[in-house]
Amino acid sequence: MTIRRVQPIDLVPLVELWEMVFPDDPSHNAPRAMLPTKLDVDDLILVAWEEGVLIGACMLGYDGHRGWLYAVAVHPDHRRKGVGTNLINASFETLKSLGCIKVNLQVREVNNPEVVAFYESLGFKVEQRISMGKLLEDE
């Protein structure tokens, strides 16, 4: 498995992976629009390739102080094989190299113990916060 920062040539398989892994994403997260826009801003998406196949990706963010893991996508055929763990560890290294001191993430489903346990195994802790959001296109 090779993990590296995203390149423009990765866009088509990345969109396909995102649509497969996150089929119920809200329309404002549509990967055909969102991923190219992210690439225009920065290259903080890591991709995992194996034998010519994109098997995983992790979208990161960094504000100059804290980092974010926005989403981790692993192809269903490659889950529970270390792809997600390797992507997240590579994300930690990428963010540390930028000067990041803390990484945050959100788990979409409140009742998603398997995913919460996965992130806890990587050192994340549940923090007492309320996540809030507002779509700006509503205005």
Q: For 32-80, what is each residue's pLDDT tens digit?
A: 777 888 877 778 999 999 999 999 999 999 999 999 999 999 999 999 9
Higher pLDDT, 24 or 73: 73
Which ranges in 57-105 belong to alpha helices (H)?
Answer: 83-97
- pLDDT at position 110 is 67
- pLDDT at position 45 is 94
- pLDDT at position 114 is 87
Distance between CA atoms of residues 55 and 76, nearest Å: 9
- pLDDT at position 62 is 94
Instruction: Sketch out the chain's domains with CATH numbers.
Output: 2-138 (3.40.630.30)
Farthest-apart Cα atoms in the chain, separation:
46
Tokens of residue 101, six digits: 């001191």
The mean pLDDT of 116-135, rounded to a whole number, is 85
Q: What are phi and psi of 34, to 5 degrees?
A: -70, -45
Say if residues 3 and 47 touch (Cβ distance below 8 Å). Answer: yes
User: SS3 of 10, please?
Assistant: helix
User: SS3 of 1, please?
Assistant: coil
